[in-house]
Amino acid sequence: MIPKALIHHGRQLGTFLGLIFLCLILWILTPYFLTVSNLLNILEQSSINATIAVGMTFVIITAGIDLSVGSILAFSGVVLASTLQAGVPLPVALLAGMLTGTLCGLLNGALISIGRLPPFIVTLGMMSIARGAALVYTNGRPISGFEQSFRWIATGKIFYIPMPLIVMFIVYFIAHIVLTRTKFGQYAYAMGGNEEATYLSGVNVRFHKTMVYALCGLTSAFAAILLTARLNSAQPIAGIMYELDAIAATVIGGTSLMGGEGTLVGTLIGALIMGVLRNGLNILGVSSFLQQIIIGTVIIIAVLLDTIMKKQKR
């Protein structure tokens, strides 16, 4: 008899095995892959995409999509940077960045749930608007050079663990609890599974849908904090194409674009798969052109396997 846990988490287990398989291959191909410092390296490099993917997971679970995460990241980042340089205390500056991201997300959510506009179109528009806002706000120039107290978010360590990892895990932990143990999380699954039935069950769909997109804006802002601290610079052109990596991580992790199912554990594994892949290909010296082909292929294979497994279940 298959243990209950395996049935529930079968999909995540499969993705996890995929990650292990990938690591195994890389371990055989190069001795530089499986070292502690490289693994920490990978986790650090994946942290930004993984953080964005948290919000993206919620959005896709509601059967929506958010193409504006990269632009929101850029806009939040430059607002954060400018307030930091204006001498504002660190917590306030962080708040300013987070607020920027959340407001952009709120706007997305409102247009989608109250305005009844398709998420693809709304977030496509926001992608442009937030990017433009970032460029206008900074006149196109990056804002660089921050205090060590801020940079510590990316460069610091607690018990030898790099800070970005700690931030990422905290975000995932909290988000996981919200998704699996709160009303809000349940409503997200329900709206994605059948929005009409959820509405007719008396759930305030408008409000909760809007909040999901606001959450996605917030996680993009978190990612902006990490990125800005890491590069010591906030560029208005940062984050271009980041939405694709976030969607890829979410989908590889088992979240269905049709909505109603998905887990954050899966998304984290998906983000790690992408991070391991990129890192491994770099280390193997594979040209960046070939890298693009390989990564695209992996995404397609992952989704293909997922579809096949789902068909077999029936």
Is-contact 12 266, C-beta < 8 A?
yes
190 counts as binding another protein under rule CB under 8 A = yes
Interatomic CA distance for residues 278 and 276, integer angstroms: 6
Measure Cα distances from 94 to 97, 136, 221, 225, 257 in Å: 5, 21, 9, 7, 32
In this structure, the number of other CB atoms found within 10 A of the CB of residue 22 comes to 16
Of 32, 124, 166, 257, the one binding another protein (CB under 8 A) is 32
Residue 119 CB-half CA count within 13 A:
25
For β-strands 161-162 and 157-158, DSSP reports them as antiparallel
Interatomic CA distance for residues 143 and 140, integer angstroms: 10
Rg of the chain in Å (alpha carbons): 19
Interatomic CA distance for residues 88 and 61, integer angstroms: 37
Is-contact 91 113, C-beta < 8 A?
no
Of 95, 110, 117, 194, the one binding another protein (CB under 8 A) is 194
Phi, psi of 202 (to 5 degrees): 90, 10
Give me the least distance between CB of 223 and another protein, in Å please.
11
| 161 membership: H or E segment, kind and range | strand 161-162
Interatomic CA distance for residues 130 and 226, integer angstroms: 19
Of the candidate spans 86-94, 103-111, 113-121, 193-201, the one that interacts with another protein by CB under 8 A turns out to be 193-201
209 counts as binding another protein under rule CB under 8 A = no
25 counts as binding another protein under rule CB under 8 A = yes
Of the candidate spans 99-107, 111-119, 160-168, 303-311, the one that interacts with another protein by CB under 8 A turns out to be 303-311
Give me the least distance between CB of 264 and another protein, in Å please.
16
Of 88, 156, 232, 294, the one binding another protein (CB under 8 A) is 232
2 counts as binding another protein under rule CB under 8 A = no
- For another protein, give the closer residue by CB, 95 or 291: 291
Residues 105-164 that bind another protein (CB under 8 A): 139-142, 144-145, 154-155
208 counts as binding another protein under rule CB under 8 A = no
218 counts as binding another protein under rule CB under 8 A = no
Of the candidate spans 38-46, 91-99, 161-169, 209-217, the one that interacts with another protein by CB under 8 A turns out to be 38-46
- For another protein, give the closer residue by CB, 11 or 107: 11
List residues binding another protein (CB under 8 A): 8, 17, 21, 24-25, 28-32, 35, 37-38, 41, 44-45, 48, 139-142, 144-145, 154-155, 181-184, 186-187, 189-190, 193-194, 196-204, 227, 230-233, 235, 237-238, 240, 260-261, 278-279, 282-285, 287-289, 292, 305, 308-309, 312
